[in-house]
């Protein structure tokens, strides 16, 4: 990028006022010009959803901060196609820091991962950052990791069509590990209640029972105290099965 100042787009799914996005912005200001376009409220679990059934509203807070009353995917789509002028197209998009892990198949539900994915689809390299702590959140170490990984991605580049899903363990990490996506062992738990009008409502939860230890997964890296960096892409094709199903062609 020669002497051009690096431009960094930040989004998340915990909302514009979350501690994680503030920590990420503070860390990345050291390596580039930061623009923040984030949901006005929490959108956890939004996955890669795009709002089509209603209009969206953009609110500009100041010269570098905007909110959107939609999903992380909406935020990135509007940032790259409406909010930021073409002369200020970001060189990289960083999503997070999420308040909780996005490991294994949970990445498919994640609005944090989806924000980075949408950027990747639109031609901007995407990084998703999550702190694997379920209660107390000290973003000191995860912000350092985000700065380090982002600087490395800017300097060395990321293969086209690839996003990096980065999960940071609690405490001081033992190092970085490039991993594959793991699989959790869990079952859904549906809690049924009655509202004040006597009508039932349901709350979807989950009982975690562990993960499949296959070697080299994101779950195992985190369990051993390492940062997990998993390369992902929007291509959901199971390429191993293409040959198996070739006789279905007609």
Whether residue 122 contacts residue 76, with contact meaning beta carbons closer than 8 Å, is answered with: yes
Nearest alpha-carbon partner for 75 in 10, 161, 126: 10
Rounded to whole angstroms, the Cα distance separating 234 from 220 reads 24
Rounded to whole angstroms, the Cα distance separating 122 from 76 reads 9
Confidence check: pLDDT of 151 > 80: yes
Calculate the average pLDDT of the chain.
Answer: 93
Confidence check: pLDDT of 185 > 80: no
**Tokens matching residue 28:** 């990345």
**Tokens matching residue 6:** 């690096």
Which residues pair with residue 192 across a beta bridge? 202
CATH 3.40.1210.10 for the 7-181+213-235 domain, yes or no: yes
Give the residue-averaged pLDDT of 90-116: 95
Rounded to whole angstroms, the Cα distance separating 102 from 83 reads 28
Name the pTM for this structure.
0.90
Q: Which pLDDT band, with edges at 50, 70 and 90, does 63 fall under?
A: very high
Give the residue-averaged pLDDT of 6-12: 97
Confidence check: pLDDT of 225 > 70: yes
Provide φ and ψ at 172, rounded to 5°: -90, 120
Confidence check: pLDDT of 76 > 80: yes
**Which residue shows structure tokens 């950052």?**
129
Give the residue-averaged pLDDT of 162-175: 96
């Amino acid at each position: 990028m020669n002497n051009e100042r690096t431009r960094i787009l930040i989004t998340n799914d915990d909302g514009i006022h979350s501690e994680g996005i503030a920590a990420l912005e503070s860390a990345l200001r050291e390596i580039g010009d930061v623009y923040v376009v984030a949901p006005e409220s929490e959108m956890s679990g939004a996955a890669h959803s795009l709002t089509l059934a209603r209009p969206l509203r953009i609110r500009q807070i100041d010269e570098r901060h905007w909110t959107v009353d939609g999903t992380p995917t909406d935020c990135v789509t509007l940032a790259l196609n409406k909010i930021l002028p073409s002369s200020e197209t970001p060189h990289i998009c960083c999503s997070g820091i999420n308040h909780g892990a996005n490991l294994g198949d949970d990445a498919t539900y994640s609005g944090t991962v989806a924000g980075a994915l949408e950027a990747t689809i639109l031609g901007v390299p995407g990084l998703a950052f999550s702190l694997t702590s379920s209660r107390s959140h000290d973003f000191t170490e995860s912000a350092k990791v985000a700065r380090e990984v982002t600087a490395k991605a800017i300097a060395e580049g990321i293969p086209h069509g690839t996003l990096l899903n980065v999960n940071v363990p609690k405490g001081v990490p033992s190092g970085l590990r490039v991993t594959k996506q793991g699989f959790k062992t869990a079952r859904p738990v549906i809690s049924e209640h009655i509202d004040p009008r006597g009508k039932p409502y349901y709350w979807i939860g989950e009982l975690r029972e562990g993960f499949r230890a296959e070697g080299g997964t994101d779950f195992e890296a985190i369990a051993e105290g390492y940062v997990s960096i998993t390369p992902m892409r929007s291509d959901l094709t199971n390429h191993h099965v293409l040959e198996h199903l070739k006789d279905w062609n007609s």
